[in-house]
Amino acid sequence: MKKIVIGVTLLFVFFGLTLLFTPMATAQEEGQTSVQENAKSGFNFVYAACAIGIAIAAFGGALGQGRSVSSALEGIARNPNASGKIMTAMIIGLALIESLVIYALVVVLMLLFK
């Protein structure tokens, strides 16, 4: 588990540094074409950002749902009489976790079809 946390932390640091230094690397000099003209003729970074964003959202949602179901099943195994209350709380939690992933999907779709 510790290796996963370190890996995810390094991934976020890498993407954070990438986002921090991207404006300096893509600064427009005199005589260059505008961003709109580059987007029509070349690679559009919005597509890459959308792909990375939805991948991180799906990964985080899957990780959260897996942990919540695991904890709920462990709680039911320890106290079977409380299974109704645990199951209700788990279903509500899973719905909230999934809604965050759907919000990320909506943001990605808004960026793609802007």
DSSP the chain: -HHHHHHHHHHHHHHHHHHHHHHHHTPPPTTPPPHHHHHHHS--HHHHHHHHHHHHHHHHHHHHHHHHHHHHHHHHHH-GGGHHHHHHHHHHHHHHHHHHHHHHHHHHHHHHT-
Q: Is residue 96 part of a domain?
A: yes
Q: Is residue 90 part of a domain?
A: yes
pLDDT digits (tens, 9 = 90+) for 64-114: 999 999 999 999 999 999 999 999 999 999 999 999 999 999 988 888 887
Q: Is residue 36 part of a domain?
A: no
Q: Is residue 102 part of a domain?
A: yes
Q: Is residue 3 part of a domain?
A: no
Name the residue range of residue 100's domain: 43-114
Query: What's the CATH number where 63 sits?
Result: 1.20.20.10
Our count of domains for the chain comes to 1
Q: Output the pTM of the full model.
A: 0.59
